[in-house]
Amino acid sequence: MQFAIMDNLNGVREDVPQIKLSRAFMAEESENVIMRENRVRRIRGRSKVFTESVYSTGKVSTTLGSAVVTGVGTGWGDGSETPLWAGRSMVIGDNTYEILSVDSITQITLTENALADESGLAYTIGVLGTKVAAPDANPILWYHLHNKAASSSEYLFAFTKAHIYRWRSDYSAFTLKFTCSGACTLWCTDKLGNKVYATNGVDFVLVWDDETPGSDFAPLGSASGIEYDTGKYLTAANYLKVYENYIFLGYTTEDGTIYPTRRRWCSLADPADWLQAGAGDAYYNDFLGKIAIKGFGIYGANNLITFTKGEGKGSIHRSWLTTEDIIFQNDELNGNLGLLATHSVCNDKDGNLYFWGTDYAIHKLLSINPISGPIDLTVKGINHDYEESISSAYIDEYNFIYWSIAASASSTGNDLVIAYDLNQRDLDVWYKLPLTSGICTFGKFTNQETLTIDGLTALFPTIDSIGFETIDSVDVKQGFLMLLASDYDGHTWRLHYSDDDCETSFIGTLVLSTDLTDAQTLGTFKRINEGVTAFYDAEGVTGYAVIHSYKREDDANWQTWKSIDLQGNGRTVRKFMPLDIRSRDFLFRQQASNRFGFLGLYFHGFALDGEQ
């Protein structure tokens, strides 16, 4: 007898029983692999993206015994924003110093006094390729990408517990846009017109205007906050969402009182008007008895979703705009299920909304059952101390949704990414991507410059063992979308771009479960008495090996079986591996630190118990 577990394209003869890879794939056991293009591939890792470049515009002068460096034509900043270069090296003549601060476009202070009198010298700031962290060395909790419609200019903001920064590609540095009055744990942002709005539950609601991009984030409203009634002010809000040209704020602090269930909105397309008794349509409503608002989402094209969270429960409410005196109609979609984590809310490209519910399961809005069944142990086993830090992102490149989570009781932050495959949503296919370090949050950016091979030689000496001196071509063009991920050291990485992850090798593990039939005969013993052929897409890389292991029903540990070489210069490689084992059901595992592409297994000469 023969049996096969194969991808959807290659297949085998029609007279050979078989099942598809997606049916045998084990989400709980597999790691760092995904099903894509009809095969299982080890995922690409993260590469450094925000790095120092060498700045050398203009000339400088120093005075022996003074820490001040004076520049001519240097442009250390543009008069409105100053690059935060503190800690970077500055080479002047034969001497290397460390920057303490950038004081103006023509003055820098060093951490030590200059060693010589110099005048009109060339200089360099920075070491090409060095990773750039958030200047306060805190994890980046949130990114906001803003595109200015009038000029197609792009602005990326990074939010930590203490500051808001803007990334300036022209300086390869962050600039400071806001300092928090106290430590915060969560940021919510959105845009309306040419402005970005942000709130953190600690400070006033903030606004930044792209008409003056060098300006800082400033309080929305007056120095007293947002005036919602005569002499009464809203001074903080935990959550923020823009819907139908209204700004919605949730869990507000008003006139010194905290309202956990209150949702307040401005007048139509007028964020300056919040007066509930004014000529506009600004007002509020309370979700009484619902404990506390937990966040917002958008469902489809025209529904605002408000989530609450209670003691193990919560509620979900839908709002829509009307032409009646009551501006927003509301109904309760679910009175027993709420939202566990604010940034677990995510939309796919069709407008469907997904979220982590208070029942510790992941849901698709308006679906009867959770979608997280195949990975239920992981989802319900998260560290509750870090549930608020769950972050999600729609990954257009794969058509997946990612959630970054603290996966176990011993986790000290988000140390696992779980991915939901929207291409196979009918099967609820999931992947586990622990990679090599945690991800605080996700973001998006577009590359701001064109990088060529010649310009990358200081970062990487080779590409797949080919020296750069033999190649001269464009690597990354300006405008190419990058998916971002922050780590716990304040660095920013680019997703899906490297054979390693954060400059560290990592392993992809694929586990398949089968009873060697297409009829699920779990109660019958089978014996593989000849062997198995594995099918792979292979690359021409020396030492490209995959280690095969198996488990039978009574095996406590994996049994190492065969290590096979897959060097194949891009061709499909078939490898036969002798095997003689007996069980009712089997687990087969493939592991490699290379980007293998797995197509399937073909089992030769196996028999049902009693037939041999």
Token look-up 């919510």 returns 188
pLDDT at 447 over 80: no
Give strand pairing partners of 547.
563, 591
pLDDT at 460 over 50: no
Q: Which of 261, 81, 99, 93 is nearest to 167 (CA)?
A: 81
Amino acid at 83: P
Euclidean distance between CA atoms 47 and 14, whole angstroms: 44
Tokens of 53: 């470049």
pLDDT at 88 over 90: yes
Name the strand (E) or helix (H) holding 309: strand 303-309
The pLDDT value given to residue 477: 46
Where residue 425 falls among pLDDT bands split at 50, 70, 90? confident
Amino acid at 594: N
Q: Which of 409, 416, 411, 412 is nearest to 432 (CA)?
A: 416
Q: Give pairs for 73-77: CB < 8 Å, separation 24+.
A: 74/105, 74/106, 75/105, 76/102, 76/104, 76/105, 76/106, 76/107, 76/108, 77/102, 77/104, 77/105, 77/171
Average pLDDT, the chain: 89
Where residue 474 falls among pLDDT bands split at 50, 70, 90? very low
Where residue 521 falls among pLDDT bands split at 50, 70, 90? low
The pLDDT value given to residue 569: 63
Euclidean distance between CA atoms 171 and 54, whole angstroms: 9
The pLDDT value given to residue 14: 62
Q: Which of 476, 475, 478 is nearest to 448 (CA)?
A: 478
pLDDT digits (tens, 9 = 90+) for 116-158: 999 999 999 999 999 999 999 999 999 999 999 878 889 999 9
pLDDT at 458 over 70: no
pLDDT at 465 over 50: no
Q: Please, are residues 583 and 525 in contact by the beta-carbon 8 Å criterion?
A: yes
Where residue 258 falls among pLDDT bands split at 50, 70, 90? very high
Lowest mean pLDDT among 237-246, 400-409, 471-480: 471-480
CA distances from 195 to 131, 258, 268, 272, 344 (A): 30, 27, 15, 12, 24
Q: Are strands 466-467 and 462-463 parallel, antiparallel or unpaired?
A: antiparallel
Has this prediction a pTM greater than 0.75?
Answer: yes
The pLDDT value given to residue 476: 45
Tokens of 483: 């998916």
| SS3 label, residue 468 | helix
Residue 386 sits at φ, ψ, to 5 deg, of: -120, 15
Where residue 329 falls among pLDDT bands split at 50, 70, 90? very high
The pLDDT value given to residue 520: 58
SS3 percent helix, strand, coil of the chain, rounded to 5, is: 5, 50, 45
Residues 6 or more apart from 247 whose CB is under 8 A from it? 190, 192, 197, 240, 241, 265, 266, 271
The pLDDT value given to residue 8: 58
Question: Which DSSP state fits 169?
Answer: T
CA 291, 295, 299, 303 torsion: positive or negative?
A: positive
The pLDDT value given to residue 519: 64
| SS3 label, residue 173 | strand
pLDDT at 73 over 90: yes
Amino acid at 337: L
The pLDDT value given to residue 594: 83
What is the average pLDDT across 49-57?
95
Q: Please, are residues 61 and 124 in contact by the beta-carbon 8 Å criterion?
A: no
The pLDDT value given to residue 502: 94
Amino acid at 272: A
Euclidean distance between CA atoms 94 and 67, whole angstroms: 16
Q: Which of 440, 375, 589, 465 is nearest to 46 (CA)?
A: 440
The pLDDT value given to residue 457: 45
What is the average pLDDT across 25-36?
89
Residue 170 sits at φ, ψ, to 5 deg, of: -70, -25
Name the residue with higher pLDDT: 3 or 351: 351
Where residue 10 falls among pLDDT bands split at 50, 70, 90? low
Name the residue with higher pLDDT: 542 or 164: 164
The pLDDT value given to residue 19: 81
The pLDDT value given to residue 612: 43
Euclidean distance between CA atoms 42 and 593, whole angstroms: 8
Where residue 470 falls among pLDDT bands split at 50, 70, 90? very low
